[in-house]
Structure 1
Amino acid sequence: MNPLHHSTRGRRARRASLAVAAVASSALLLTACSVGSGETPSGGSGTTGASAGTSAGTEVDSAQPRIALTYDGGLYVLDGETLETEADLDLAGFNRLNASGDGRHVLVSTGGGWQVLDTGTWTAADGSHRVAEPALTDLVFAGDTPGHVVRHGGRTILFADGTGDTTVFETADLLDTSGGLPETETIESPEAHHGVSIELEDGTLLTTIGTPDERTGVRALDADRSEIARSEECPSVHGEGTAADEVVVFGCTDGVLLYDDGAFTKIDAPDAYGRTGNAYVTDTSSIAVGDYNSDPDSEGYLLSSLVLTDTVAKTATVVDLPEGVTYTWRDVARGPDDEILLLGSDGALHVLDETTGTETASYPLIDAWESPVEWQDAHPALVVQGGTAYVTDTAASSIHAVDVATGELLASAELPEVPNEIAVVTG
């Protein structure tokens, strides 16, 4: 999640006239600092405030990953190797987490938008690795009902469900927040809806089509934000993922929608109802893994199948998991060799072949668990960084670090509160 390649097609010149610069950043601070239920954050063992992020930090020998976790009433920041708690920050409400992509910051979805959490670990411009005390800053990217956060091609893309607006900024520009928020571009949507956007390397913006009542597809806008293509063959479009060669996958209730080389392709599900809501991808694999549900009347959130989409052949295959293995959208990830990692409701970490879905290994880890009643309810989650899988155990209020290659338990930690959302930064 360190900054990726930056396109040199003159983005900054175009964005200068559209962006939110220093003056607008100040306005954001005045109008969009609400968090959770509208309370101002107050510090636990960490700090808060706009001054956070200005510290030079302490130099260390190598990049130090850190983990952000939400709980009911606050945030933990943990050391990514030892799992020791670096900070416990108060924050009311149910708050979602997304790594910003710069290796340092996490965006916390709060009442006023995406609030910037400085995890206190980063790689400086001179290449040195530094750590500092984590801080929940008062910097907020304004957004009405903040939703999906996408990181791609050195850009971070935010989608506000309450307006349908997309906000885009250069990921690396967030590394130093001493001058406030980075310059941004906002692209308006015709109508508000629960959606998602992504900008490709050539400046093409893919953004969902919808209303508050329904979502139907995706449109493509060129670098000047003129529409160049659209597809409305993706009912209830949700989520996105970018596979090898920048082929983008969107989930639909009747299959998946691909965008490749300027054109959309719909791949129908094998079932009349075959919903994919989330895509799990890598930029080195042409196989996109999606969650899959063929029962529109199913109760709960546990699923027992995956869909593997070959983005080159433009085909999709549904794979059933071993008997007794189910999961939710929080429990699938891709490993360092593009393998599929899945935290099953049986409590084991399952390793699956990306092309066939065949299980190649299984590592018992936590006790079996049941479906959450509501999607926001805390339940076990999986996130992978490099060769390490991080797994939360909500029943035991704990977190574990596991070596993906061997299943070896690297570290464990008990937490005072039940963990919910999780995000990892590389440092």
Structure 2
Amino acid sequence: MHIASPRRRAAALGLATAAAIALVGCTSAAAPGESAAPTTTGAAAEPGQRLAIAYDGGLAVLDAVTLEQLADIPLPGFNRLNTAGDGEHAFVTTEGGFQVLATGADGSAPELTGTTFPATTPGHVVRHEGRTVLFDDGTGDFWAFDTDALLGAEGLPETTEFTSEAAHHGVAVELADGTMLSTLGDSESRSGVRVLDPQGEETARFEECPAVHGEGVAADEAVLFGCEDGVLTYVDGAFAKLESPDEFGRVGNAYVTDESAIAVVDYKDDPDAEGSLLHRVGFVDTAAADLDGAQLDVVDLPEGVEYTWRGVGRDAEGAAWLLGTDGALHRIDVETQAITASYPVIEAWEGPAEWQEAHPALVVDGDQAIVTEPAANAVHRIDLATGEVLATGTIEGTPNELALVG
């Protein structure tokens, strides 16, 4: 059996090979530790929050409060976005790896830098307790590093590298004490999660979580992973499995906060359903006395309200917000599992045929929210206390994925 062993190194020496650093878009190739010339139509602005938006063929960077566009950066292809967590950068999942976008939250001009974490098939980005983990689905390799390491750095930071037993669409998360949880699987299937100690030695595994996907860390470092028949938890050093109430009940994503013990999860009960729309939501109380063998709480949404994984978030008080196909934002009390408020914010919409297609997305920012409206190439900032639209902006492309930075 192949056990992952981490090795710390300067990324400029080990991660960056000439073949792997393939900088894409309109940047020119740069040596490890150097930045290629950025392509941007924007300029420096007052420091503050930034909103990065991926559209087909590029990236737009907006002032996250006024929604004024500050930069437009050409970048071919379908690109995904993740907040880096350091208040300045975002990761662009693109050809060649995880490319670093400087958003200009510090007052500088936004730019797609020449710094790329090489990956054959870049996948999940996970931030927790000051550490970031990047997962390469094409190899099963993943890298952990300090979340703030990109600030003021030239090139790639020092990382700890891990390997999986086989390449798969996976995810890993590092806990505060250095324990690493990473998924198990191969190109054909995924089965569970293993535990690695800070030295990279395996200490435990759980292999009864078919189609394991996604992760979330709730209060007191209770970790959740989705399965196609429930939710796998790792609490106080032990695995426990909650079963779905249906024969097929797939969970793919968890929506959590550091303060709430209750996790909200998406839920699919029909394996033959086409498209990405969902009509039920799940809840996991990670502080419950006995999780193992318990049944996952699942509730139905009102008639005519469906959602996708891009349309759920948690606010500053732990409430869940869901962007429905009816065009409304719905507040869900996670204790009672009931909808307590609904605000119409955009026109009603239909679900995408393929998950990559642009469709409305939600990012919750404290007591406000940012919602995209692809049909109008628009993005809105919403007051969650009243449903009032505080600002609206538009971009040239159709907004797809979002990253809120700063």
- SS at structure 1 position matched to 2:149: helix
Q: Which amino acid aligns with 1:94?
A: F
Rounded to whole Å, the distance in 2 between the matches of 1:98 and 1:290 is 19
Tell whether the 8 Å contact from 2:44 to 2:109 is kept in structure 1 after alignment.
no
Q: Which residue of 1 aligns with 2:118?
A: 142
- SS at structure 2 position matched to 1:326: coil
Q: Which residue of 2 aligns with 1:256?
A: 231
1:356: how far off? 2.3
1:261: how far off? 1.4
Q: Which residue of 1 aligns with 2:52?
A: 68
Tell whether the 8 Å contact from 1:49 to 1:136 is kept in structure 2 after alignment.
no
Q: Which residue of 1 aligns with 2:309?
A: 329
Q: Which amino acid aligns with 1:168?
A: A
Q: Which residue of 2 aligns with 1:238?
A: 213
Rounded to whole Å, the distance in 1 between the matches of 2:155 and 2:205 is 36
Pair 1:401-2:381 in alignment: yes
Q: Which amino acid aligns with 1:328?
A: T
1:373: how far off? 0.9
Rounded to whole Å, the distance in 2 between the matches of 1:34 and 1:147 is 17
1:358: how far off? 0.6
Alpha carbon RMSD of aligned pairs, Å? 1.9
Q: Which residue of 1 aligns with 2:31?
A: none
Instruction: Choose from 390, 396, 405 the match for 1:416.
Output: 396
Rounded to whole Å, the distance in 2 between the matches of 1:30 and 1:252 is 36
Instruction: Choose from 287, 290, 293 the match for 2:265.
Output: 290
Matches within 5 A, 1:64-213: 64-122=48-106, 131-177=107-153, 179-213=154-188
Q: Which residue of 2 aligns with 1:369?
A: 349
Tell whether the 8 Å contact from 2:20 to 2:119 is kept in structure 1 after alignment.
no
Identity fraction in percent: 55
- SS at structure 1 position matched to 2:233: strand
- SS at structure 2 position matched to 1:31: coil
1:59: how far off? 9.4
Rounded to whole Å, the distance in 2 between the matches of 1:286 and 1:171 is 24
Tell whether the 8 Å contact from 1:308 to 1:355 is kept in structure 2 after alignment.
no
Matches within 5 A, 1:48-67: 49-50=35-36, 64-67=48-51
Q: For 1:379-407, what per-residue CA distance to the aligned partner results, in whole angstroms no more than 9, with x for missing partners?
A: 00001122221000001110000012221
1:23: how far off? 3.3
Q: For 1:102-161, what per-residue CA distance to the aligned partner results, in whole angstroms no more than 9, with x for missing partners?
A: 011000011110000000113xxxxxxxx1100000100011100000000100111100
Q: Which residue of 2 aligns with 1:33?
A: 22
1:229: how far off? 0.8
Instruction: Choose from 18, 30, 33 the match for 2:8.
Output: 18
Normalising by the residue count of structure 2, what TM-score does the alignment of the two structures yield? Answer: 0.92
Rounded to whole Å, the distance in 2 between the matches of 1:282 and 1:360 is 19
- SS at structure 1 position matched to 2:9: coil
Rounded to whole Å, the distance in 1 between the matches of 2:372 and 2:13 is 41
Q: Which residue of 2 aligns with 1:222?
A: 197
Rounded to whole Å, the distance in 1 between the matches of 2:316 and 2:167 is 37
Instruction: Choose from 354, 359, 365 the match for 2:339.
Output: 359
Tell whether the 8 Å contact from 1:331 to 1:380 is kept in structure 2 after alignment.
yes
Tell whether the 8 Å contact from 2:214 to 2:254 is kept in structure 1 after alignment.
yes
- SS at structure 2 position matched to 1:208: strand
Tell whether the 8 Å contact from 1:339 to 1:354 is kept in structure 2 after alignment.
yes
Normalising by the residue count of structure 1, what TM-score does the alignment of the two structures yield? Answer: 0.87
What are the ranges of 5 or more consecutive residues in structure 2 without an aligned counterpart? 29-33
Q: Which residue of 2 aligns with 1:125?
A: none
Rounded to whole Å, the distance in 2 between the matches of 1:345 and 1:113 is 33
Q: Which residue of 2 aligns with 1:269?
A: 244
What are the ranges of 5 or more consecutive residues in structure 1 without an aligned counterpart? 1-13, 43-47, 123-130
Rounded to whole Å, the distance in 2 between the matches of 1:377 and 1:158 is 24
1:82: how far off? 0.6
Tell whether the 8 Å contact from 2:45 to 2:109 is kept in structure 1 after alignment.
no
Rounded to whole Å, the distance in 1 between the matches of 2:12 and 2:20 is 15
- SS at structure 2 position matched to 1:376: coil
Rounded to whole Å, the distance in 2 between the matches of 1:107 and 1:28 is 20
Rounded to whole Å, the distance in 2 between the matches of 1:376 and 1:262 is 36
Q: Which amino acid aligns with 2:312?
A: V
- SS at structure 2 position matched to 1:157: strand
Rounded to whole Å, the distance in 2 between the matches of 1:346 and 1:59 is 36
Rounded to whole Å, the distance in 2 between the matches of 1:31 and 1:291 is 35
1:319: how far off? 1.1
Q: Which amino acid aligns with 1:303?
A: L
Range with bigger deviation, 405-414 or 105-114: 405-414
Tell whether the 8 Å contact from 1:257 to 1:264 is kept in structure 2 after alignment.
yes
